[in-house]
Amino acid sequence: MSSFIETYNCRLGSVNPNKYLISSREDLSRCLVSAELAHHNEALLDIATRVEFLSEIHAQIIYHKEALFEVYSTESSLGRLRFNAEFDRTLKQLNAYRDAAIALSIQKNKSILPDRTISKKPMPLGPIAVFGASNFPLAYATLGGDVMGAFAAGCPVIVKGHPLHAGTSLLSAKLIYNAREKLNLHPGVFGHVLDDGFDIGQTLVQDPRIKGCGFTGSFSGGMALYRLTQNRKDPIPCFAEMGSINPVIILPNEQGLSIHLNSLVQSITTDAGQFCTKPGVLFCPNSMLPEALKILDYAFKKAAPHPMLHPSVQERYHCKLEEITRNFDGKSYLSTEKEFGITRGFFQVSIEQFLKNPSLQQELFGPTAVIVAYDTSDELLRGLAPLKGQLTITLIGENPETSVFFKWACTHAGRVILNGVPTGVSVVANMHHGGPFPASTDDRFSAVGEASIQRFIRYVSVQNSVST
């Protein structure tokens, strides 16, 4: 097994020149010892320290923007426009968590009873392990929301960097180290390790010094970490966002089909469909199907080509397509674009065909979707029945909030979209990015927005008797 990680440039079709050393168990042990000491010494307990730390990280990110873009673009194959959007989002969410920490610190939580007072204060959980996502090298990785949310809560953090963008993760870590050193903070407030397998990550979340875990990625990866955290002698919370199929329901009263379908295809194909909120299945009335098929087929064919994150991601995607077609008795509208050799398009099936093929009911990480035709509300409900918890559900039609499916959507998803697209998760106070299992391991909490800081705190009530 190699002791180095190499990254790949999918636009050039070549391995990048830099190699990155894989962390040893000794490296991890040093991070764990230091993180525990930082927490014991209350290194980030003072709100002023947290605000200063997050503000300095913000300044470091801005100063090193072009250096970040250089390594980001070569490792992820994502372009300047996507980088700028993700860069701005990273700064915005950092500011949001900083402001949320301030608001939390000044809350007056006290109950005055005849014989006692009871006050409640937030406390940091302790050292947090964070696993970054492959598809967001900034906003959901080493400089991402889980890390900044944990810092805002006052927790030390150890990041296990994602191997597909190891250089970006290491540079991001350096910016946090710079901020830490400039402010002379305890070295244990932040640690970073790299691994191209599972050993370091498993050891990290099983260590008793770790008190919580944040993860964004696949269902298999999230559940593996969740089981490890729950099977410890001292179980800890594991907040895993694991993606979903994000169904779209086109209602029979929809009048602007072309506009919505073109927007949905853009949502499906942007950055090669590598989003956890990509719409994966569209339920369409049979009466609209002929028009919908023409619009979709044309829109997919004219969509701009885009590379996937890594050859291994592309291989898994194409293997999934092959799995679907082996047991498929519907009609496919697939084509392979020449520039990057990525197949894209959609499958057309009836409700019965959809129900018979479980592969169609699972998340497909790439620029492909399924369109399912239905006639009646009862038939549509049968088609929706096998779909479990979702990050998002979209309703398209006139007054969709009055539809019988609005309540169903609210029950099954963390976010319901009315006449829009699910991609583009805004960092605002009222955003909820999570959903009933299997979209996430705990749908009470959001991975985006100020409320996400709540994942990394616990409350202590102090009861004080009143002298009489």
At 347-406, the pLDDT tens digits run 999 999 999 999 999 999 999 999 999 999 999 999 999 999 999 999 999 999 999 999
Q: What is the pLDDT of residue 1?
A: 54
In this structure, how many other beta carbons lie within 10 angstroms of the beta carbon of residue 348? 20
pLDDT tens digits, 206-248: 999 999 999 999 999 999 999 999 999 999 999 999 999 999 9
Q: Report which of 446, 413, 449, 409 is spatially closest to residue 428, judged by C-alpha positions.
A: 449
**Cβ atoms of 433 and 449 closer than 8 Å:** yes
DSSP 217: S
Are 61 and 86 spatial neighbours (Cβ–Cβ below 8 Å)? no
Q: Among 241, 254, 363, 450, which one carries the catalytic annotation?
A: 241
DSSP secondary structure code for residue 438 in this structure: T
Q: For residue 144, which of 68, 195, 209, 42 has the smallest C-alpha distance?
A: 68
Sheet with 238-241, strands from edge to edge, namely 190-194, 157-161, 128-131, 212-216, 238-241
Integer Cα distance of 143 and 139 in angstroms:
6
- For residue 269, the number of C-alpha atoms closer than 13 Å in the C-beta half-sphere is 26
H-helix or E-strand containing 353?
helix 351-356
Contact predicate 308/274, CB 8 Å: yes
Q: Measuring CA to CA, which residue among 256, 281, 278, 283 is closest to residue 267? A: 278
Q: Residue ranges of the chain with pLDDT lower than 50? A: none
H/E run at residue 213: strand 212-216
Nearest to 54 by CA among 64, 63, 44, 42: 44
**Distance (Å, rounded) from C-alpha 427 to C-alpha 433?**
10
User: 31 with 193: CB under 8 angstroms?
Assistant: yes
From 85, 55, 44, 47, select the one nearest 270 (Cα to Cα).
85
Please state, in angstroms and rounded to a whole number, the distance separating the CA atoms of residues 214 and 237: 9
Residue 188 falls in which region: left (phi positive, over 0), alpha (psi -120 to 50) or beta: alpha
Residue 364: count of CB within 10 angstroms of its CB:
22
The answer to whether residues 375 and 285 touch, using CB atoms and an 8 Å cutoff, is yes
Cα 383 to chain center, whole Å? 27
Which ranges of 191-308 does DSSP label H, i.e. alpha helix?
199-206, 219-230, 257-269, 289-302
276 is catalytic: yes
Pairwise CA distance, residues 185 & 49, whole Å: 9
Options 10, 31, 213, 276, the catalytic residue: 276
The SS3 of residue 397 is coil
Q: Residue 281: how many CB atoms within 10 A of its CB?
A: 25
* Token output for 202: 């498993």
The residues near 326 (Cβ < 8 Å, ≥ 6 apart) are none
Domains and CATH numbers, the chain: 4-242+440-465 (3.40.605.10), 248-418 (3.40.309.10)
**C-alpha to C-alpha distance for 282 and 373, rounded to whole angstroms:** 9
Other beta carbons within 10 angstroms of residue 60's beta carbon come to 18
**What pTM was computed for the model?**
0.95
Structure tokens at 45: 């307990």
The tokens for 168 are 């970006």
